[in-house]
Every structure is written in structure tokens, then in C-alpha cells.
A and B are shown apart, each in its own frame.
Chain A
């Protein structure tokens, strides 16, 4: 079920021009709702990381935002290539980022661990050849 607010942000591989716009728009919406600065910061960090992963690692996908009266849900769903070893990918410092991404300052292998740390609920599912889905939830009141 979609939230009272539902927005979708499609992202394409290596499209750095739009990278960061989804998380900026999400931040603006949370400010309009009056969500506290500390919750907003956590959503900002997680949404930025997940958005950039779509651009850097996926074959394209969609980030969506749903806001319910007491929670925020971020879902990232892509068309591949999938992550072969999830346990490895979740480790701090593990990265397969290419040269282009590294030149832009990405590839520290901190994105996924940071998402997990900042979200109140974190689920990841991935299948090689099919794609990756990440669901993160945040409680609005704390």
C-alpha cells in the first residue's frame, strides 16, 4: 500500500547529472512535513547512499518514498545485475566501484553499512541476473 505521500525517482546507470536530486527532494518534503532534524538527517544519508548505488552499481532502477503518519519508507528496486555475496557487500570497506565512480569520490564501501546504521528497519534481497531490492523504514517520532 502506498503512503499518503508517494514519490518515485527513476535512476539510470552512470547518470551522475541527476544523482543526489532524489535525496534533495526527499529532504524538502520532510521539511515541509516538519519531520525533526535528526530523523531527516538519517533519511538524507540513507537516501543519498541508496540513490548513488542505483547510479553507480545497478543497471537502472527506481527509488521510491512513501510517508505514513508515523513512518517513512524508502524502497530501491533495480533491474540487475544483483549482488552475488550479500554478506560481503554489507561489510565496511567492500566495494566494486569502477574507476569513474572512484574518481568522483565514491567507492569507500560505506554505503550499505551506513544505510543499515541510519535506518530503523533495513531489509535487502538480491538475486544475480534479476536485481536488488532494499527496503528501509524510519520512525517519524524518534
Chain B
């Protein structure tokens, strides 16, 4: 498929070449060269930090327009539970589901129902015992990619069960085809996404060969379209609903609370996730059974493609969830569901070794030595003016042939001073 696909892109016309995104990228995937930003495909994890930080809106997330659902004879909308949180005071998820049908989808299927099945599957997995602790959630693709780039030794800890959206899409397509007697390829499954990371996970899946989803429309776009319909709606539509636990996956700790309420930890926001993963890697959190990490503050309700303030959205979701029956997915999901649909990954999580300097370890060692020498010369300000995020990455970039020492303005200044002094000295010798 599209092997280098990324939802996060640069709009060159808006980029001023400042260092905001450069300094905030958690995987050092951005460089400023020739007065504009460049995203290094191999390092980008589509977390959307740069979208949030850019004052010029030059970083964008590409998703599918609603129009694109027309490619299929039938289209099913699969809303992330985050979508419900966008509508202040919303009491019933049914209204959103019905409104999705009114704006052009032939059917709807809650991703929260996928979360219910995944909850049960992970709990069954944990009951068997014999797993590395803590097990790390695979639901946030930005976190899984972060682990591939920065914590490859933790990949064996990542749950090898599919994300809720994938399981939901399998269920939705199967149900729809059975009900309407149509062919699977006539049905398009569209995720209503809070983030670019999920979009990328559809086009370039992580533990799967191919995604069950056919595309993704943003929560932001759907919010505007759905609002008038929801306001007008009077009837009390009837839908098979997810449990309150499944819906709660939208915000941080929802997943951990459903999967493993004891001895679990949930952490949100990329810098915080990094801190906790460091501790896991140093074997400092082995008492923990389950770790839920979300790239976004507050969990998916804080996704870059959402509209509502994440605290308000969390509140809306919690209030709505409390009004649902207290049934746990353990009872709600029939055991047969775990064998009926593809639940497990069909591909291992591979480490991303973009930090590796050379395939030959001796050459790599020589490069590290050279980096070390360069570091002695560089000022250590990590100012970013050279276009690399830190002095150390700048040294790495030099060794990899991507820039030159004189791209550092501080070295350059020293060099100019030295040359000026030489000229003065020369002028003096001539006069003597």
C-alpha cells in the first residue's frame, strides 16, 4: 500500500521556518532547511503535536472529505465515542447515530462496541497469565509508533489485540452484509476520527496487513454537519448501544478502568507518556499490570481534530455514560464474539531503527566518535537556529551528511571573528 503515507503534512505556503514545531516534536522528526520545515517520514508518528503548536497553521492533518463515501454503494459511519463529547449536554448517543444517517450514511456502528469486544479480549488474555508486565495498550497508534521509534525494547509488552476501530469495522461490515444481502466490497466503513494518527493507521496499519476501515472523516467536519440535525431531532431512535465502559474509552483512564481497574495506570500527553515509558524500560514499574497511554491530553477527547474543549467533552461523556446501565463488557459481549471476527493482530510490531547511524557497527562507532568530537565544539544551547532540534541531533545530521558545521550560527560567528582577527594581524605585519 502507500508505504510512506502520513496524515500529518506541511502546508509550505504557510510555513515561516520558525522553530516551534522543531522543538516540540517528540521523535525529532522535523528539520528546518532552506527556510521551511521538513518532516522526516521515517520518524514521524503522526501524533499531531506540531499541528497544535504551529501559530501559522502550516501543519495540517489530511483526512477524507465526507464526499468520499460515495465511492461505495453503501457507507457505514463508525464514530469514535469522542464524537459524542462534542455536543454539550448531549444525553443520548442515539441522537448522534441517527443524525449520521441523516447526513448520508446508510448505517452506523459505534466504535465503542468494538471497544467492548476488545475489553473482553484483553481481559481473557490477562486471565491466562504469563504476559510481560505491564501490558501496554495498543489503542493509540501515536503511542505505538512512539514505542517503535524510542522504546523498541517495550514492543513485546504491547497488547497484540486489534484496536477498537478495527474490530468495530469487521463487525459492522459483517452485520450489514448479512442484513442486506450485499457483497463486502460494496460496503465502505468510515471512521469518524479525532486524530491524524488513526487516519495513518488506516492507510498504513501497524499490527495488521490491511485495515478493515476504508477511510476516515474528521470529528471536526462531522460536528458542524451534525449539529443542526441533532438540535432538530425529536424521535427516540432505537439502536444497539455500546456499554458505558466502551463509551468511556474516549477519555483517559476509560480503557484502563474497563480492562484492569486494579494495578493499572493511565497517562496522557506525549511528554508524560515518554516519562512513564522510560520508567517501564528501566524496570521500575513491574508491579503494574496494565498501562494505558494516550498521546493527547485527556485522551482522545483531546485529539487534534476535535472541536470541543477536552475537559468539557470528558464531562459530557462521563455524564452520558453514567446514565447507561452498569453492565460490564464481560457480561455484555457474548464469548462467541471473540472467535467470530478477527481480533488478533496478523503482523508483529517491528522496531523502527531510524536512529541507527550505519548497518556496519564499526562505521556506526566511528560516527558516534565524530558526534562526540562535534559536541565538544558546539555550544550546547539547543537553540534550533541550525534547523536541527538540538546540538546533538545537529551533530548527527552532520555525520549523516545532511548539513555542515557552519550551519551553526555560533560556530559561524566564532569563525568570522577568527578571520577578522587574521586580517587585522595581516594588516599589521604588512605595515611593519
- A residues apposed to B, CB below 8 Å: 4-5, 7, 20, 23-24, 27-29, 31-34, 37-38, 40-41, 44-45, 48-49, 67, 69, 105, 114, 140
- Interface 9-residue window, one of B31-39, B280-288, B378-386: B280-288
Residues of A contacting B364 in the complex (Cβ-Cβ under 8 angstroms): 32-34
Q: Is the CB of A41 within 8 A of B153?
A: yes
Query: Closest CB of chain A to B354's CB: distance in Å?
Result: 9
Selected contact of A34 from candidates B154, B281, B361, B372, CB within 8 Å? B361
Task: Give the most central of B153, B355, B366, B367: most A CB within 10 Å.
Answer: B153
SS class, residues of chain B in contact with chain A? helix
Q: Is the CB of B351 within 8 A of A32?
A: no
Residues of A contacting B359 in the complex (Cβ-Cβ under 8 angstroms): 34
**Chain B, interface residues (CB within 8 Å), range:** 20 to 34
**A24 to B282 CA separation, bound complex (whole angstroms):** 10
Selected contact of A28 from candidates B353, B355, B365, CB within 8 Å? B355
Query: Closest CB of chain B to A69's CB: distance in Å?
Result: 6
Q: Is the CB of A37 within 8 A of B155?
A: yes
Selected contact of B356 from candidates A32, A41, A114, CB within 8 Å? A32
Q: Is the CB of B282 within 8 A of A33?
A: no
Q: Is the CB of B369 within 8 A of A45?
A: no
Q: Specify the chain A residue showing the minimal Cβ separation from B365.
A: A4
A-B contact pairs, 27 of them (CB 8 A): A4-B365, A4-B369, A5-B365, A5-B369, A5-B372, A7-B372, A20-B278, A24-B278, A31-B152, A32-B356, A32-B357, A32-B367, A32-B368, A33-B357, A33-B364, A37-B152, A37-B351, A38-B153, A40-B152, A41-B153, A41-B281, A44-B282, A45-B281, A45-B283, A67-B365, A105-B284, A114-B283
**B426 CB-CB contact with A under 8 Å:** no
Query: Closest CB of chain B to A60's CB: distance in Å?
Result: 22
Given the interface pairs A5-B365, A5-B368, the reply to whether A45 lies near B282 with Cβ below 8 Å is yes
Q: Is the CB of A31 within 8 A of B356?
A: yes
**A38 to B353 CA separation, bound complex (whole angstroms):** 14
Residues of A contacting B353 in the complex (Cβ-Cβ under 8 angstroms): 31, 34
User: Among residues 94 to 137 in chain B, which have CB atoms less than 8 Å away from a CB atom of chain A?
Assistant: none
**B1 CB-CB contact with A under 8 Å:** no
Residues of B contacting A20 in the complex (Cβ-Cβ under 8 angstroms): 278, 282
Q: Is the CB of A48 within 8 A of B368?
A: no
**A41 to B362 CA separation, bound complex (whole angstroms):** 21
Residues of B contacting A4 in the complex (Cβ-Cβ under 8 angstroms): 362, 365-366, 369
Residues of A contacting B155 in the complex (Cβ-Cβ under 8 angstroms): 37
Query: Closest CB of chain B to A71's CB: distance in Å?
Result: 11
Query: Closest CB of chain A to B400's CB: distance in Å?
Result: 11
